[in-house]
């Protein structure tokens, strides 16, 4: 499981002083990008060398409790499935031990023109090694 910490800034909050719901999508995106980076996958090189990019196919988010300005959050990311062109992820946003948000994300591999394509073997092997 990968962990990514971030601080809630004023710009992340709404008039009620809590994190605006859509900003959690940004938080979990940053965590996914850092997770992929820690695997040694260079997404710029993936696009350049294989004409392949990851895109979000589906996301399901359950908002359980609000985060507030200046909270230190931890986004946990775990791979749940790896297919030929898809990757399933479970992501949880926590403040200390309190679970605030739970998300299920499906990524797909696409060519730059938007057509589905298989995950390159080197990347797939790295991803699959974390599902076992």
Interaxial angle between packed helices 23-38 and 43-50, expressed in degrees from 0 to 180 and rounded to the nearest 10: 70
**Catalytic residue status for 71:** no
The DSSP call for residue 1 is -
Catalytic residue selected from 12, 14, 42, 71: 14
CA distance 39 to 41: 6
The residues with which 59 forms a beta bridge, in sequence order, are 105
User: Could you give the maximum distance between any two Cα atoms of the chain, in Å?
Assistant: 47
Taking residue 17's Cβ as centre, other Cβ atoms within 10 Å add up to 10
Active site positions, annotated: 14
């Amino acid at each position: 499981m990968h962990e990514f910490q971030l601080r809630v800034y004023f710009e992340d909050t709404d008039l009620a002083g809590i994190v605006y719901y859509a900003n959690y999508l940004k938080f979990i995106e940053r965590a996914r990008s850092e997770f992929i980076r820690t695997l040694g996958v260079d997404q710029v090189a993936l696009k350049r060398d294989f004409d392949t990019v990851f895109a979000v196919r589906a996301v399901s988010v359950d908002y359980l409790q609000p985060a507030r300005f200046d909270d230190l959050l931890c986004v946990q990311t775990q791979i749940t499935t790896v297919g030929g062109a898809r990757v399933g992820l479970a992501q949880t946003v926590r403040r200390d031990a309190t679970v605030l948000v739970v998300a299920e994300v499906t990524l797909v591999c696409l060519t730059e023109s938007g057509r589905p394509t298989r995950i390159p073997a080197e990347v797939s092997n790295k991803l699959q090694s974390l599902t076992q």
